Amino acid sequence: MTSNNQIGKRWIRPLPERLINKIAAGEVIERPAAVLKELLENSLDAGATRIDIAVEKSGLKSITVVDDGCGIDADQIEIAFSRHATSKIRDFNDLEELMSFGFRGEALPSIGSVSKTRMISRTADSDDGRELIIEGGVLQSVKAVAAPIGTKIEVMDLFYNTPARRKFLKTETTEARHLTRTATAMALSVPGVRFSYSLNGRRLFLLGKNADLMQARVAELLFGKENTPLLEVKYDSDKLNISGYLSFPDSCRRNRNGLYMYINRRYIFSPTLFHAITAGYGELLARGHFPAGALFLDIDPKRVDVNVHPTKAEVRLVEERQIHDLLYQVIKKSLRGSLGLPSASTAVEIRSAEENYTAAEAIRRLKNFMPDKDINNAPDMMDKLYGNQKTDSSNQAPESINQESEDTIKYINVAADDTVETKSGSETIRYLGQLSRLYLIFISGDELLVIDQHTAHERVLYEENLKAIELGKSISQNLLFPINIELTPERFAVYEEASEILTSAGIISQPFGATTVMLTAVSASLTKKSPEKIFEEILSDVENLHNGGEELTKAVAQSIACRAAIMSGDVITAEEAIGLYRRLKTVDNKHCCPHGRPVTLKLTKDELDKKFGRK
């Protein structure tokens, strides 16, 4: 008879090696981009000066990396796929002075356990190479083959034996974006290495090796043009060196995806340091915009802990707050010097990391960015900052109430019989005028209506665009001459994902080379704006909205509506205002714009009576 104790007993036993590797793969190999990152780090640690990347079907079909590094000895190639086997560290002390990209010895066994992997490697002192094939963590073969010096590794059918992991992957285009970002990040980290990257047979970039041309590499990869003007950031001290190139304020973006941060050439994510960079721009950075570029920090390895997470993207810094404050000062001073802003009496001197100051002092310094005595220099400074940018009247700032030369509410005579049809009949609407060139004032019965002209027009255009896209009835305006627009590899991935919907929305284009797009027509509602600029802005909007969970169709319709709508500061006639009101009454959602901002504010007679103490 079996006792209760025997029934409930659970034995503790070691897990099989293959199961251990699969569990580790869940942490190290989160998605195809993680595979690419680990393979590229191995190539760079091997001293490669040339790396070729080829990806098929967003990495699920194959990821191939070929390098000319030192290679792996024939008797070591099997050991490379053993868990916690690495040539980069030997004991605990090595972790405190770590300068290699990899060191955990988990990547290759984790990759091999969830894919079909083929590796060919040869060292300089070997006459031939070795080919190793491993499937699902099981070694299939090892044999001698002819091969050049270096290593070639092919990862095929990723997650073929872990279908649950495949289910949690995003769409092909989303995974392709992550792969492209990873390839871009690694290529930026080592300008002395020749990089090529191909996705689904199309080469997205080919970069020659030149360690002295970091600026050109940043400009080409992140802005699509080698001659893009960039802000150079440089600071050297015994404990910390900072270098890199960032966008000027007029070239900043609406998301953080264009900013790459490195510590000791390792691509990392640090909200604290990202904040320091953004804060350094201060008032020169438009609301909702972020710098783009690449910034490199060289720190004593003993002050950095990279062994925080298996992905090695997160790090801990011994003096994080001090480094934040110093970086903030460096960015601010670099901007002031490059833009010709006054610096004789107001420049913030660069202190050492130990001489930290409070956040309150940082805010005070930021508010004093432009002293009153230097205000006369403002026109010259703005001309230098925005001199190459054409003025667009639709983007002018709203006129202040205090600047009005007469009563802000202007009464415009509109016939009393102007009516707007509604479901319940008709209502008499009287239009009074514009307040601060933004708000439209109407009287409807006993109600005073205040309508935001931009959000109202945006809501109307959004719903009209959605219907036109769904029915395929968008109206296009052909350009007199096609325009070739060079996109960054990441932005091109966004374009590929949204190209069909853009076409349905009246924006006609087609790929024209590696990451170049030929634009031939735009939506008729956008003809008053620069086609090239509006196209790039729409792609930026679509990327932000889609990353936030918005459907692609809605993201495209929302972006076009926002770009085509009447802007704050635009003067419209009484007829146009009443026409907008009529169109607003026909939409499904009359209460808010696609961003969620209110469209109409109503003040009833009862509410006014209360305000004036009559009730």
- Is 389 inside a domain boundary? no
- Is 377 inside a domain boundary? no
Average pLDDT over residues 287-291: 84
- Is 44 inside a domain boundary? yes
Looking at the structure, do residues 167 and 227 belong to the same domain, yes or no? no
Torsion over CA: 390, 391, 394, 398 (sign): positive
Looking at the structure, do residues 151 and 260 belong to the same domain, yes or no? no
Average pLDDT over residues 546-568: 87
Please determine, for residue 388, whether its predicted confidence score (pLDDT) is greater than 90: no
CATH number of the domain to which 259 belongs: 3.30.230.10
Looking at the structure, do residues 362 and 467 belong to the same domain, yes or no? no
Q: Mean pLDDT over all residues of the chain?
A: 79
Please determine, for residue 301, whether its predicted confidence score (pLDDT) is greater than 70: yes
Q: pLDDT tens digit string along 46-78?
A: 999 999 999 999 999 999 999 999 999 998 899
pLDDT reported for residue 260: 96
Looking at the structure, do residues 77 and 172 belong to the same domain, yes or no? yes
Which of 174, 206, 238 is where one domain is finished?
206
Return the percentage of the chain with pLDDT > 70, whole number.
Answer: 76
CATH number of the domain to which 192 belongs: 3.30.565.10
Residue 352 lies in domain: 214-370
- Please state which of the ranges 23-32, 227-236, 411-420, 521-530 shows the lowest mean pLDDT: 411-420
Which of 341, 370, 399 is where one domain is finished?
370
Query: What separation in angstroms does the CA of 556 have from each of 340, 364, 499, 550?
Result: 39, 40, 10, 10
Please determine, for residue 302, whether its predicted confidence score (pLDDT) is greater than 60: yes
Question: How many Cα atoms are found within 13 Å in the side-chain-facing hemisphere of 129?
Answer: 21
- Neighbour-count burial for 150-175, b at 16+ CB within 10 Å, e otherwise: bbbbbbbebbeebeebeeebeeebbb
For 371, the token pair is 């002293």
pLDDT reported for residue 549: 74
- Is 354 inside a domain boundary? yes
Torsion over CA: 56, 59, 60, 64 (sign): positive
Looking at the structure, do residues 460 and 584 belong to the same domain, yes or no? yes
Question: How many residues comprise the chain?
Answer: 615
pLDDT reported for residue 404: 35
Ranked by mean pLDDT, the top range of 153-157, 512-516, 550-554 is 153-157
Please determine, for residue 364, whether its predicted confidence score (pLDDT) is greater than 90: no
Looking at the structure, do residues 273 and 165 belong to the same domain, yes or no? no
- Is 12 inside a domain boundary? no
Query: Which residues lie closer than 8 Å to 365 by C-beta, 6 or more apart?
Result: 348
- Is 378 inside a domain boundary? no
Average pLDDT over residues 329-336: 91
Please determine, for residue 392, whether its predicted confidence score (pLDDT) is greater than 60: no
Looking at the structure, do residues 314 and 438 belong to the same domain, yes or no? no
Looking at the structure, do residues 241 and 180 belong to the same domain, yes or no? no
Which of 206, 241, 276 is where one domain is finished?
206
CA 531 to chain centre: 22
Looking at the structure, do residues 442 and 556 belong to the same domain, yes or no? yes
Looking at the structure, do residues 200 and 61 belong to the same domain, yes or no? yes
Nearest to 194 by CA among 68, 49, 74: 49
CA–CA gap between residue 9 and residue 7 (Å, rounded): 6
- Is 397 inside a domain boundary? no
pLDDT reported for residue 508: 93
CA–CA gap between residue 495 and residue 510 (Å, rounded): 10
Ranked by mean pLDDT, the top range of 21-35, 206-220, 563-577 is 563-577
> What is the count of structural domains for the chain?
3
Average pLDDT over residues 333-352: 57
Looking at the structure, do residues 170 and 232 belong to the same domain, yes or no? no
CATH number of the domain to which 470 belongs: 3.30.1540.20
Nearest to 78 by CA among 128, 113, 130, 124: 130
Is the distance from CB of 159 to CB of 22 less than 8 angstroms? no
Looking at the structure, do residues 545 and 612 belong to the same domain, yes or no? yes
- Is 386 inside a domain boundary? no
